[in-house]
Amino acid sequence: MKFLLTNDDGIEAPGLAALESAVEPLGQRVVVAPDTHLSGCSHRATTDRGLHLRLGRGEWHTLDGTPVDCTRIGLVHLAPEVDWVLSGINEGGNLGADIYHSGTVAAAREAALLGKPAIAVSQYRRRRAPVDWARAARWTRQIVSLLLARPHAAGIFWNVNLPDAETQPDEPEVVFCNMDPHPLPVRYRIEEGRLRYHGVYQDRLRALGRDVDVCFSGAIAITVLMLPQPE
């Protein structure tokens, strides 16, 4: 098994190192990640300039582009033979409507567009406390192993959200669930004459049994997403 790893938090993000640690026993890894933090960049791709790819240690590569660019360069230029694309582990949840603006999820979506199964993994956290990346890696290894064993059709990718590690047991329940349709809280306040987003993530609406509710309640939320297929 060979994996392409990427993220939207940047090449130096601890979540990317945790992701590699999670899948190290499962197969070979090629890493292509942005050279800077690009959270919330959605499915943006760079087509108006050249991209600079730099080789780091081992099979780690840095790209001055977006998560979608990283997936494209990885699958088309560096390692077209990879079996799966994994994106994350994002520092913060990507639940419900987040999938539309998340760079983490966009990298997995681009993989599905290019014909590869993919998993986006995010670590929800209730407060700004440090993330237990070792535990997140252990949970991620279990989930990736679980999803690798499941049958998958063309156009499928998975969105996985790990619960707040501060308050949850070592082995949280794993729940397959649908995406919550509610929008994020949209609030702003004026700071120095500018409007600054001030929505509170934890205050979002929750549909019972959907991914927001599942993850906020302490379980690992797994949602399958499907791209429309040609007729």
- pLDDT, residue 144, reads 98
Gap between the Cα atoms of 96 and 172, Å rounded = 20
Beta partners for residue 5, in sequence order: 31, 86
Gap between the Cα atoms of 24 and 47, Å rounded = 33
Residue 132's nearest CA partner among 94, 167, 86, 93 is 167
Give the total residue count for the chain.
231
Q: What is the mean pLDDT of the chain?
A: 93
More confident residue, 192 or 5: 5
- pLDDT, residue 167, reads 64
Instruction: Note the pLDDT tens digit of each residue in 47-56.
Output: 999 999 998 7
pLDDT(181) > 80: yes
Cβ pair 160, 121 in contact under 8 A: yes
H or E, element range at 110 = helix 103-113
Running DSSP on this structure, what letter comes out for residue 6? E
% the chain with pLDDT above 90: 79
Running DSSP on this structure, what letter comes out for residue 134? H
Cβ pair 221, 157 in contact under 8 A: no
Lowest mean pLDDT among 17-21, 137-141, 224-228: 224-228
Q: Would you give the distance in Å from CA 82 to the centre of its chain?
A: 18
Residue 195 is encoded by which pair of tokens?
């409007």
Residue 40 is encoded by which pair of tokens?
């919330």
- pLDDT, residue 51, reads 93
- pLDDT, residue 72, reads 97
Gap between the Cα atoms of 204 and 213, Å rounded = 10
Task: Look up the pTM and report it.
Answer: 0.94
- pLDDT, residue 110, reads 97
Residue 25 is encoded by which pair of tokens?
């026993």
Instruction: Note the pLDDT tens digit of each residue in 126-179.
Output: 877 789 999 999 999 999 999 999 988 889 999 999 999 766 667 899 999 999
Determine the average pLDDT of the residues in 196-200. 86
% the chain with pLDDT above 70: 98
Residue 128 is encoded by which pair of tokens?
């700004």
Beta partners for residue 87, in sequence order: 6, 120
Quote the Cα angle for 96-145-120, to 5°.
Answer: 30
Gap between the Cα atoms of 218 and 25, Å rounded = 27
Gap between the Cα atoms of 110 and 192, Å rounded = 38
Which structural domains are found in the chain, ordered by start? 2-181+207-226 (3.40.1210.10)
Task: For residue 177, count other CB atoms closer than 10 A to its CB.
Answer: 19
Task: For residue 196, count other CB atoms closer than 10 A to its CB.
Answer: 10
- pLDDT, residue 219, reads 95
pLDDT(69) > 80: yes
